[in-house]
Amino acid sequence: MRAVVAHAPHDLRLERLPEVADPGEGEVLVRVVAGGICGSDLHYYHHGGFGTVRLREPMILGHEVSAVITAVGKGVTRVGPGDLAAINPSMPCGKCEECRRGLRNECHDMVFSGSAMRFPHAQGMFRDSIIVPEKRVFPVGPGTDAGPAALAEPFAVCLHAVKRAGPLLGATVLVSGCGPIGCLTVAAARHAGASYIIACDVVQEPLAVAASLGADELVVVAPDASGLDRYKAGKGKIDVAFDCSGHPSAIATALDCLRPRGRLVAVGLGGPMQFALPSVVTKEIEVIGSFRFDEEFGQAVDLISRGKVDLSELISHSLPVDEAIAAFDLAGDRRSAMKVQLNFATQQRSALQRDRSGDDRIRVSAPKLIPRKFSGPAGAN
């Protein structure tokens, strides 16, 4: 089988690995259909890791995938051959102190697919086939495309962030940093009932996607953030700010815009930074961290399956896995791409796979290309 393996910075290889065995009791054999390239995948590709997390052995990348069930082991009842499913990459131990407290996303012994945080590394899911426990397999509804199904993991991250923020019904919300996580946070906030959403970024191109997912106002904050000045008036006008950039200037701007007792939800991972503590104290601002997800994965699959959210606009490109290096290079270009997915299908056509009755059921988008520049929406600032 094929696998996308990172060996070192800019040493990404499409390798042939042995085929997997039959699934055991409680296990499911899946054939990967679509896999989204995440920011962490790009860090491994460009830098060999991030912070103290470094590649110490070759590692299969990927943790955002949808797959077709090809075989099930003894005792598996929730899924069957032919089903399309999203695969949860998160495997908390269930035994540590944090798991026992119900904070499974903070597990001390987390195994997360495609992560070098532990050694041996947790191999990822950018491969043709993989065996996973049934509990990690979430079937999607009939008619759901494989591409949006593979967005369940990043959308779960954003649903968790919105949950951490508390009630958003009727709230004015600011989202800073409109990469895939920022845009999906816009979608999650809109679903949660936010009445007005301002999306901002240092470049204009990604804001077109934010608008398609529910942003009401788009602001380019480079070379300065003057476009947000009216939200700084008085003691601030924003109820909840989600920072998905991890950048000090975005944090500072968000604190200026938040009204007294507003909430800042930190979603993006940045480095150490100076913090405007006086603003936090005098305006009684709540600063809330948000990390990964837990039960939100199932919620994400449910919302995507039932058509309660349409995330298809986030997928800017779908390239065959044989073009993995080109896909990774494209995914790093914020002006040209949003979410780039790898297509593991051997033939590029719609309704590629068939269910047990032989009817076309699993839809796989053909390779998707967009113009070199996003087309900005009318009225973008």
pLDDT at 142: 87
- Maximum separation of any 2 CA atoms in the chain, in Å: 65
pLDDT at 372 over 60: no
Rounded Cα distance between 72 and 26, Å, is: 8
* CATH superfamily of the domain spanning 2-151+311-362: Medium-chain alcohol dehydrogenases, catalytic domain (3.90.180.10)
- For the segment 316-333, the average pLDDT, to the nearest whole number, is 96
Closest CA to 316 of 364, 372, 369: 369
State percent of the chain over pLDDT 70. 91
pLDDT at 84: 97
pLDDT at 214 over 70: yes
pLDDT in tens, 80-128: 999 999 999 999 999 999 999 999 999 999 999 999 999 999 999 999 9
Asked if residues 331 and 338 have their Cβ atoms less than 8 Å apart, the reply is no
Rounded Cα distance between 165 and 235, Å, is: 20
- For the segment 303-323, the average pLDDT, to the nearest whole number, is 96
User: CB under 8 Å to 371, separation ≥6 — which residues?
Assistant: none
Instruction: Look up the CATH number of domain 158-289.
Output: 3.40.50.720
Integer Rg of the chain from CA: 21
> pLDDT class for 357, splitting at 50, 70, 90?
very low
Closest CA to 79 of 90, 91, 68, 64: 68
pLDDT at 225: 86
Domain spans in the chain, listed from the N-terminal domain onward: 2-151+311-362, 158-289
pLDDT at 350 over 60: no
- 128-132, 339-343, 355-359: least confident range: 355-359
pLDDT at 11: 97
pLDDT in tens, 157-206: 999 999 999 999 999 999 999 999 999 999 999 999 999 999 999 999 99
Residues, the chain, total?
Answer: 381
- For the segment 315-321, the average pLDDT, to the nearest whole number, is 96
Q: Mean pLDDT score of the chain, rounded to an integer? A: 91
pLDDT at 363 over 60: no
pLDDT at 276: 87
> pLDDT class for 141, splitting at 50, 70, 90?
confident
> pLDDT class for 24, splitting at 50, 70, 90?
very high
> pLDDT class for 358, splitting at 50, 70, 90?
very low
Rounded Cα distance between 197 and 9, Å, is: 38
